A = this chain, B = another copy of it.
Amino acid sequence: MQMLIEKMFLPAFANPTLELLHDGAVLAVNGARLAFSTDSFVVSPLFFPGGDIGSLAVHGTVNDLAMCGARPLALSMGFILEEGLPMEELWRVVQSIQQAAQAVGVPIATGDTKVVDRGKGDGIFINTTGIGLIPAGVEISPRRAQPGDVVLISGAIAVHGIAIMSVREGLEFETALESDSAPLHELVAQILEAGQDRIHVLRDPTRGGVASALNEIAAGARVGIRLEESRIPIWEEVRGACEILGLDPLYVANEGKCLAIVAPDVAEEVLAAMREHPLGREAAIIGQVVAEHPGKVFLRSRIGGMRVVDMLSGEQLPRIC
């Protein structure tokens, strides 16, 4: 997938905006800066603990806009429905979309609906594309990571991916493990208020998890990133599930978490701002940007050893979002 993007789509569609590989494009229109971002959602199952394909589709695109530093203005909604889909399921998804969009305060401004024959789709696929407005003074770009910067995460990792995999694999937990799917635009607004233009990079570590997100940033900005394993928040039951499933939590998807790479002088304030928000209570400083080994991410383990955290560690989990 990463290969497809780098070897096929980027060279073919070549343009300066796309090349940044940001969570969304930043467009200058009439003196305003707009963020523009798209995601298709093919999650299986459609309904899972803590959400469904509808709420996920709203949160996913709202979050990619937020990672550009933007406030969401409008969403589009494109459905691909499989013939034979029970109307009751569609209705539940539509209501979930409506509730999620209303909670964010973003209108579904336009839409599209296509139907494919049975066996040529899988219930419901959804594309959401969003437009957001970037406030003046905000300057987020994956290229702005620089040596000395501090790396923060807004909460415990790997929750969404494990919630989905648990349903698929029939794992049982003592307490129900729910997806962390949530809209991050307000958390981001608080981060930006605390750090202003000293917030350099934001990224939601979705498919491929924290490891892939930081590798992409390290590669794009030509910097190294050093993580402290002991500081990375992870719930015990998630760690346990990862062991059972043979997954490294650093590569497991999050849908309500945000990485922030910020200038060192604002790191503590940003951390405090994150923790003040309900979605950032478990926020932590987890590493820093370094000049050595540009393009690489390192992890200092609990027992002190250093290892490279590669871009690809086996297959990505399919249909997790």
Which positions in A face B, CB cutoff 8 Å? 1, 4-5, 8-9, 12-13, 15, 17-18, 22, 24-25, 27, 29-32, 34, 36-42, 73-74, 76-80, 90-91, 94-95, 97-98, 101, 107-117, 119-122, 125, 127, 129, 131, 133, 318-319
Closest partner residue, chain B, to A80 (CB atom): B40
A101 contact set on B, CB distance < 8 A: 13
Is A116 touching B42 in the complex (CB atoms < 8 A)?
A: yes
Closest partner residue, chain B, to A1 (CB atom): B113
A-B contact list, 26 entries, CB within 8 Å: A5-B113, A8-B90, A9-B94, A9-B111, A9-B113, A15-B108, A18-B107, A18-B109, A22-B110, A25-B74, A25-B110, A29-B32, A29-B34, A34-B34, A36-B131, A37-B76, A38-B76, A38-B127, A40-B127, A41-B114, A42-B80, A42-B116, A117-B318, A120-B121, A121-B122, A125-B125
Given A40-B127, A121-B120, A129-B38, A74–B12 Cβ distance below 8 Å?
A: no
Is A114 touching B40 in the complex (CB atoms < 8 A)?
A: yes
Given A98-B12, A127-B78, A318-B117, A112–B18 Cβ distance below 8 Å?
A: no
